[in-house]
Chain A
Amino acid sequence: MQVAIQGPWSPLFGRLTLDAIPYTNPILIATFAVAAVIGLVVVGAVLYYKKLGYLWREWLTSVDHKKIGVMYIILGLVMLFRGFADGLMIRTQQAIAIGPNSPGVMGAQHGFIPPFHFDQVYSAHGTIMILFAATPILTGLTNVVVPLQIGARDMAFPYMNALSLWLTTAGAILVMLSLFVGDFSAAGWVGLIPLTELPYSPGVGVDYWMWAIQISSIGTTLNAINMIVTIIKMRAPGMSWFRMPVFTWTTLSTNIIGLTAFPVLGAALALLTADRYFGAHFYTAGNGGNLMLYTNLFWIWGHPEVYFLVLPAFGIFSEIIPTFAEKPLFGYTTMVAATFAIAGISWAVWLHHFFTMAAGPDVNGFFSVATMLVGIPTGVKVFNWMFTLYRGRLTFTTPMLWALAGLFLLLLGGLTGMMLAIPAVNYTVHDSVFVIAHFHCMVLLIGAAMFAAVSYWWPKVFGFQLDEKNGLMFFWTFIAATIIVFIAMFALGFEGETRRLDYIYDPAWRPMLWTEEAGMLLYCVSIGYFIRMLYVSLRDRVPVPSDPWGTSRTLEFLTHSPVPFYNFAVTPQVNTRDELAWRRENGLNNVQPEAFEPIHMPSNSGIPFIIGMLSLGFGFGLIWRIWWLAGFALLGIIIAVIIRSFDKNLGYELSAEDVAAMERNLSSAGIAAEQPARTPLTEAEAH
């Protein structure tokens, strides 16, 4: 049974009409123009330099974990930029629309964005930053680094890895499409219920939000399976559990969280889908529905998701701080224990997101104490990083500075988090900008870890250094902006300012809001330095040795920079924790293998990309209720899966001579190099 929807519907175009194109909105027209120009330049450059074939063979169809990781990070950075633009619009609106006499332009009574549009902007900001920026960037980093850290050739399931990427990309494209075709959700990134139900959100916005998350979270779940299996099964000989780098440990715990939490989100959204598409009553206020069910389900995923993001960040700190302190991580075993303690507790704290939903004092008390328990292992981690610095020999490279700044953000975020864990305090600041400032401390800590990781592993992956001078300017401006914006925001929280206001009714808040806006402008400057850093690095391409930092401790810095596509010419034998540091101390870090052996590699496949794009069509069809499109796309996916199932491709083999040749000429195996076509193995050869 299909529910009645507002507005016209046609079998051919569903709900899609010309009105869905926002050609009257100057902001969106400008955005579209910029996006179109960038798109044309990129496509034009690819065609002009005849790189379309290269792009298809070496990237879009790639099953190489490093390339997939890099594509994840590129996707995340593009979305990070979009999310920041949304943040800038939110802050600018709030800096203008203060008090009843404030000016209004472009159709807004106050400020420059009318409420309906503003609500989409902040909803998009949250959805994008959490699910389409932070998640892909961290997934990308674990993709690049973990197989190298454990001495593996690739992920356990290279094909599924590509599928994860393209499903996530399909979700991200849907979010971007909502800018130019229709609307995005105006009900918050959490999907405030029953605001997301048809009576209160009759448009396609909530559908865009729902399907974008649903499709991309399938990708994230598949990736979690892949990571867990890789870490359990693919470790190099000698890499016992307690020789694994802490980043690998945090990746394992984080993906156990991902595997258990993301299906809950899928189920929660599926029930909402039933409400919106079939007129069911899972979450409605009336007819036997229960809206509190959604809030619980969402946060049963939502809180583990926070740790899904923060644990890899902790892992990154645990790699970078020892490298630049030139000593081993303090308390390795406790660090691993603390990681799993945090992961374990993360399933038992979700209710603290809605202490005000009138659970009794006993229930609130339980979740309050459970939440505070997270503070213990987190405290342990901070202490351990601190003791790692003690009697070290510190060098302040960009990655190290980001990691140290992350520690301070964690302290501030931790303090305010412990405050929010007390219901009595929470009743005064819940849903205020104090909460926003708190979790931005946490997500900016994750952001700091991401920038730390990108600058730390960049030379490893690409074989040339990231420009340090612009990197430092990027760091300092970014941190200064963070302090300015979020200290002011904490202050406004104590004023009782609620989140999600498109109009500020109290003019007394103006100085603080303007302070925040100044911080946002400083963020813009920092983005300028970031782009310049990339530009200068790509222009100069200063080559680096296999260990660009000279003091790295883990296995990934043993192989060449850029990492050859087969990772290690000979699978390394692991002798101890911090293998590379041990080899360096014993003068073994430059030992070359005596002979090479053939390497079995997986063949590239276009099917993941095709399935991703069909998922995009499937989502788009469902959003606009173009049933034939959704039906054909789903059929296409099923056919693609069947074709793949009967595909007898067994991968190909690099001969020992090939490997030896590439080891002599390293650039021929690097990430940017184009590989010749290699014939897949026949069944007979494989046995």
Chain B
Amino acid sequence: MRLKPFLALPALLALSCCNTGDYRLFHPLTQIAAVQWWATLFEVGIMSIVIVPVTILIAVFIWRYRKSANAAYDPTWSHSLVLEILVWGVPLVIVAICGVVSIRTTRQVDPYAPGILANTQAAKTPLDIDVITTDWQWLFIYPGQHIASVDELVIPEGRVAHFRLTSTSVVNTFFIPAVVPMIDIMPGMRTEDTFDAPKAGAYTGFSADFSGAGFSWMQFTTRIVSQADFDAWVAKAAASPRQLNYTAFTQFAQPTLNEGAKISYFANPSPGLFENVVGAAQAGVVYPVSDRETRSIADLDAGTAAQAPK
């Protein structure tokens, strides 16, 4: 009995080792992330039905049948029909259950049209946001609000955000842990993603797919705020003197390392900018990174690169 607290020690050590105290994925914010977390727990649980006993049995056999123990030794036993049916049958049943769960949860969290939100009122009137990634910044365009923000995503509480995503250059992956399922962002193509924003909070989003020398600095701030704060934020962004037409965008999209992910705003993005960017990439517009730039990202600090796209 008195041993018990000590047995918990390694587990406690492991937990306290990460002094944030919160493994981000353990604390899902959105309904979608909650399904994902549930699927994680379910999978670990059902696999444990096999893995835990097998691990223990292997350990027990290793101990019990060591040569020096002189335990029962049967050098001929190598076949048992019952056991062979079991060793195929048990994994088969588990995989069947996991398969059903997998297909169901995949539909529930489908980034394009998550089943879990299908019947909610908020999903019928989503907040549309267009996301364009460059080397190596995030541009969030709010077509309904006529603003765009760099490296900052703000969502009003209670709304469902629906994203269209594309890239100017290479592939990125859109991800905010505990908030949104990952989706790839590809040049010349459009992908979609969705999440609900049940309560206020601040999160860090980032690209999960390597995109070149500036990749490690490619984060964005994500804030879920009250409607009033959102309106105030929109007004602040709308007051920005910088306008965003396609020409201004081609300047913005030059390879730029935004150290510290500094936030800035554009007012009045051109309608159809997103489609223009997709179309341009399909037509072969690229934003090359020069050999010199790949070698020294110091050359890529904001504002130094300003050549026209080729």
- Contacts A194-B187, A356-B173, A394-B62 given: A380-B88 contact, CB under 8 Å? yes
Cα distance A389–B289 when bound, in Å? 58
Whether the Cβ atoms of A428 and B33 lie closer than 8 Å is yes
- The docked-state distance in angstroms from the alpha carbon of A617 to that of B159 is 61
A230-238, A248-256, A371-379: which one contacts chain B?
Answer: A371-379
B280 to chain A minimum Cβ distance, whole angstroms, is: 8
Q: Which of A65-73, A491-499, A620-628, A672-680 makes up part of the contact surface? A: A491-499
Within 8 A of A (CB), among B268-310: 281-291, 294-298, 310
Q: Which residues of A contact B95 (CB under 8 A)?
A: 369, 372-373, 375-376
* CB-contacts of B161-200 with A (<8 A): 169-171, 173, 175, 177-178, 181-184, 186-189, 191-192
Per-residue interface assignment for chain A, residues 188 to 218, with 1 indicating a CB less than 8 Å from any chain B CB and 0 otherwise = 1000111100111111000000000000000
B212 touches A200 (CB 8 A): yes
With an 8 A cutoff between CB atoms, is A384 at the interface?
yes
- Verify if A404 is at the interface (C-beta below 8 Å from B): yes
Q: Are B87 and A379 in contact (CB under 8 A)?
A: yes
A330 and B288 within 8 A (CB): no
Chain B residues closer than 8 Å to A500, beta-carbon distance: 210, 215
A195 x B212 contact (CB < 8 A): yes
Q: Is there a chain A Cβ closer than 8 Å to B248's Cβ?
A: no
Whole-angstrom CA separation of A119 from B25 in the bound complex: 27
Q: Nearest Cβ distance between residue A112 and chain B, in whole angstroms? A: 15
Q: Is the CB of B55 within 8 A of A408?
A: yes
Question: A428-B40, A508-B19 given as contacts; is B284 within 8 A of A286 (CB)?
Answer: yes
Q: Is the CB of B55 within 8 A of A114?
A: no
| CB within 8 Å of A: which B188-229 residues | 188-189, 191-192, 204, 206-217, 219
Other-chain contact of B67, A395, A407, A423 (Cβ < 8 Å):
A395
Complexed CA–CA distance, A193 and B181 (Å): 22
Contact, CB under 8 Å: A508 / B18: yes
The answer to the question of B107 belonging to the interface, with a C-beta cut-off of 8 Å to chain A, is yes
Please tell me if B128 contacts chain A, counting CB pairs below 8 Å.
no
A590 CB to nearest B CB, Å: 20
Q: Does B244 contact A (CB under 8 A)?
A: no
B96-104, B119-127, B137-145 - the one binding chain A: B96-104
B-contacting 9-mer, from A146-154, A414-422, A450-458, A559-567: A414-422
User: Is B106 among interface residues, defined by CB-CB distance under 8 A?
Assistant: yes
Report yes or no: A396 in contact with B66, Cβ–Cβ below 8 A: yes
Q: In the bound complex, do residue B18 and residue A491 qualify as a contact, i.e. CB atoms below 8 Å apart?
A: yes
In the bound complex, CA of A32 to CA of B100 (Å): 55
B235 interface residue per 8 A CB criterion: no
Q: Is A285's CB within 8 Å of the partner chain B? A: yes
Closest residue of chain B to A364, judged by CB?
B106
- Least Cβ distance of B63 to chain A in Å? 9
Inter-subunit contact B36/A425 (CB<8 Å): yes
Complex alpha-carbon distance, A396 and B65, angstroms: 11
Number of interface residues of B (CB under 8 A): 113
Is A6 within 8 A of B171, CB to CB?
A: no
Beyond A202-B291, A285-B186, A376-B91, whether A192 also contacts B102 by CB under 8 A is no
Contact pick for A386, options B61, B106, B191, B296, CB 8 Å: B61
Say how far A657's CB is from chain B's closest CB, in angstroms: 41
Stretch from A270-278, A310-318, A429-437 that touches the partner: A429-437
The reply to whether B77 and A6 contact each other, CB–CB distance below 8 Å, is no
A419 close to B213 (CB less than 8 A): no
Q: Is the CB of B101 within 8 A of A422?
A: yes
Contacts of A157 in B (CB 8 A): none
The residue that B78 contacts in the complex, of A195, A330, A414, A432, with Cβ under 8 A, is A330
Asked whether A637 is an interface residue with its Cβ less than 8 Å from the other chain, the reply is no
Which A residues between 79 and 128 are near B, CB-CB below 8 angstroms? 100, 109, 114-116, 119
Given contacts A327-B78, A389-B62, A494-B26, contact A428 B177 (CB under 8 A): yes
* Minimum CB–CB distance for A581 against chain B, Å: 9
Bound CA–CA A625/B289 (angstroms):
21
Is A134 engaged at the interface, CB distance under 8 Å to the other chain? no
CB proximity of B37 to chain A, nearest CB, Å: 8
Cβ-defined partner of B44 (8 Å) among A199, A386, A415: A415
> Which of B1-9, B108-116, B147-155 faces chain A?
B108-116
- Point out the residue from B77, B192, B213 that lies within 8 Å of A119, measured CB to CB: B213
Is there an interface contact between A511 and B181, defined as CB atoms closer than 8 Å?
A: no
Q: Is B20 a contact of A495 with CB atoms below 8 Å?
A: yes
Name the residue on A nearest B206 (C-beta).
A498
Cβ of B12 < 8 Å from any Cβ of A?
no
Candidate in B78, B111, B219 with the most chain A CB atoms within 10 angstroms: B78
Chain A residue contacts of B263, Cβ below 8 A: none
Q: For the complex, is A358 an interface residue (Cβ under 8 Å from B)?
A: yes
Q: Does B239 contact A (CB under 8 A)?
A: no
A428 vs B105: C-alpha distance when bound (angstroms): 13
Q: How far is the CA of A503 from the CA of B72 in the complex (A)?
A: 57
**In chain A between 352 and 384, which residues have their CB closer than 8 angstroms to a CB of chain B?**
354, 356-358, 360-361, 364-365, 368-369, 372-373, 375-376, 379-380, 382-384
User: Roughly how many angstroms separate A135 CA and B43 CA in the complex, as a whole number?
Assistant: 32
Q: Give the distance in Å from the alpha carbon of A509 to the alpha carbon of B216 in the complex.
A: 15
Nearest chain A CB to B72 CB, angstrom units: 5
Chain B residue nearest to A392 (CB atoms) is B65
Residues of chain B within 8 A of A203, CB atoms compared: 291, 294
Most buried by A among B101, B281, B295: B295
A186 at the interface (CB under 8 A from B): yes
**Chain B residues with CB below 8 A from A375, complex form:** 91, 94-95
Least CB distance, B183 to chain A, in whole angstroms: 6
**Can you name the residue of chain A whose Cβ is closest to the Cβ of B193?**
A358
Is B181 a contact partner of A116 (Cβ separation < 8 A)?
A: no
Picked from A187, A292, A421, the residue with its CB within 8 Å of the CB of B186 is: A292
A75 within 8 A of B: no
Chain A residues with CB below 8 A from B105, complex form: 422-424
- Chain A nearest CB: distance from B89 CB in Å? 9
Q: Give the nearest-CB partner of A322 in chain B.
A: B78
- Binary per-residue interface labels of chain A (507-527) against chain B in the complex, 1 for a CB within 8 Å, 0 otherwise: 011011001000000000000
CB distance from B289 to the nearest CB of A (A): 5
Instruction: Find chain B residues with CB under 8 A from A496 CB.
Output: 24-25, 175, 177-178
Query: Is A328 among interface residues, defined by CB-CB distance under 8 A?
Result: yes
Query: B36–A109 contact, CB under 8 A?
Result: no
CB pair A386–B65 under 8 Å, yes or no, is: no
| Nearest B residue (CB) for A504 | B216
Q: Which of A326, A356, A421, A432 contacts B102 (CB 8 A)?
A: A421
* A596 contacts the other chain (CB 8 A): no
Q: Nearest CB to that of A119 among chain B residues? A: B213
A98 to chain B, nearest CB (A): 11
Verify A390–B61 contact, CB threshold 8 A. Answer: yes
Across the interface, do B186 and A291 meet the contact criterion of CB distance under 8 Å?
Answer: yes
Q: How far is the CB of A67 from chain B (nearest CB, A)?
A: 35
Docked complex Cα distance between A325 and B26 (Å): 42
Which chain B residue has the least Cβ–Cβ distance from A281? B284
Q: What is the distance, in angstroms, from B270's C-beta to the closest C-beta of chain A?
A: 21
Q: How far is the CA of A325 from the CA of B102 in the complex (A)?
A: 39
B204 CB contacts on chain A under 8 angstroms: 505-506
Answer yes or no: A539 CB below 8 A from chain B CBs. Answer: no
Contact between B212 and A285, CB atoms less than 8 A apart: no
Q: Provide the residues of chain B in CB contact with A427, threshold 8 Å.
A: 36, 109, 111, 181-183
Q: Are B181 and A331 in contact (CB under 8 A)?
A: no
Question: Given that A284-B284, A430-B182 are contacting pairs, would A334 and B87 also be in contact in the complex, using a CB cutoff of 8 Å?
Answer: yes
Asked if B233 lies at the interface with its beta carbon under 8 angstroms from chain A, I say no
Chain B proximity of A42: nearest CB distance (Å):
33
Complex-state Cα separation, A110 to B35, whole angstroms: 38
Can you report 12 residue pairs joining A to B where beta carbons are below 8 Å apart? A100-B260, A186-B294, A286-B286, A334-B84, A356-B181, A357-B186, A376-B91, A414-B51, A418-B43, A419-B44, A498-B207, A508-B20
18 further interface pairs, Cβ-Cβ under 8 Å (given A375-B95, A390-B77): A100-B260, A116-B297, A285-B188, A330-B77, A356-B183, A358-B112, A365-B103, A369-B95, A372-B102, A383-B86, A389-B65, A391-B74, A391-B77, A393-B67, A404-B58, A421-B102, A422-B102, A425-B36
The 7 tightest CB contacts between A and B, nearest first, are A286-B284, A496-B177, A427-B181, A285-B187, A199-B288, A379-B91, A424-B105
